[in-house]
Amino acid sequence: MTEKAVEAFKKSNQGTAPTKIIVYRDGVSEGQKSAVLNTEVQEMRSALDNTCNNAKLVYIVLNKRITTRIFEYRNGSIESAPEGTVVDNHITKKGYFDFFLLPLKPRQGSATPTY
C-alpha cells in the first residue's frame, strides 16, 4: 500500500517522490507500541526505501483512551483548560516526544485530551 501511494504521488507530481511522509496511527495501546515500532514502522521504512529512500518518515501514534484530565486555575477557581492547550512536559514520559492536546471545549465537566 505504501509503495502504491508513493507511485501515485510520483505520477501526480511529474515523477518527483515525496520528501516527507507523516503517518497518524490510532488504536494502539501502551502494550502494542513496541510492536508497532518494530513491525509497522520498519515495514513502512522498507517500502519507502524501495520507492523513495530519501524520504523522512514521521510516525505519530494517537491515544484517546486515557484518564488524564488537564485543569487550570482561573479567576479564583479550577476550570477545564481551554481547547488548543498543549502540555509537553512534567506529566509526559521521559525519552518520548509526546504531548497532550485538548482538542475541544467541553460542554460540561472536563475534556479528555488526546495523547
**Pair 79, 44 in one domain:** no
**Pair 56, 11 in one domain:** yes
**Pair 78, 46 in one domain:** no
**Pair 3, 30 in one domain:** yes
Q: Residue 29: how many CB atoms within 10 A of its CB?
A: 10
Residues ≥6 apart with Cβ < 8 Å to 48: 2, 6, 21, 55, 57
**Pair 57, 1 in one domain:** yes
* pLDDT at residue 13, rounded to an integer: 94
pLDDT in tens, 51-72: 887 889 998 888 877 888 888 8
Mean pLDDT of 24-49: 85
Instruction: Examine the pLDDT at 9 and tell me if it is beyond 90.
Output: yes
Mean pLDDT of 81-104: 87
**Pair 57, 8 in one domain:** yes
Instruction: Examine the pLDDT at 4 and tell me if it is beyond 80.
Output: yes
**Pair 81, 54 in one domain:** no
Question: Alpha helix locations (H) across the chain?
Answer: 2-12, 33-35, 42-51
* pLDDT at residue 19, rounded to an integer: 92
Residue-range definition of the domain harbouring residue 71: 65-115
